[in-house]
Amino acid sequence: MSFSSRPGRQKRVLNTGSGPYNPAKLHRAFATSDWQEIRLDIDARVEPDHVGSVTNMRSFAPDASFDAIWSSHNVEHLHTHEVDTAFREFGRVLQPNGFALITCPDLDAIVRLIADGKMHDVIYTSPAGPITPFDMLYGHSASIAAGFGYMAHNTGYTAERLGRVALAAGFGEVRVKRGRFLDLWALALMPGTRATDLAPLFHDTEQRDLLA
Q: Where are the domains of the chain?
A: 3-106+154-211
Radius of gyration of the chain (CA): 17
Percentage of the chain beyond pLDDT 70 is: 96
Q: Report the C-alpha gap between 134 and 139 in whole angstroms.
A: 8
Residue type for position 91: G
184 pLDDT higher than 60: yes
pLDDT at 1: 41
CATH topology of domain 3-106+154-211: Rossmann fold (3.40.50)
Write down the mean pLDDT value for the chain: 94
Burial class (CB in 10 A: 0-12, 13-18, 19+), 190: buried
Which of left, alpha, beta for 147 (phi over 0: left; psi -120 to 50: alpha)? left
160 pLDDT higher than 90: yes
CB 178 within 8 A of CB 112: no
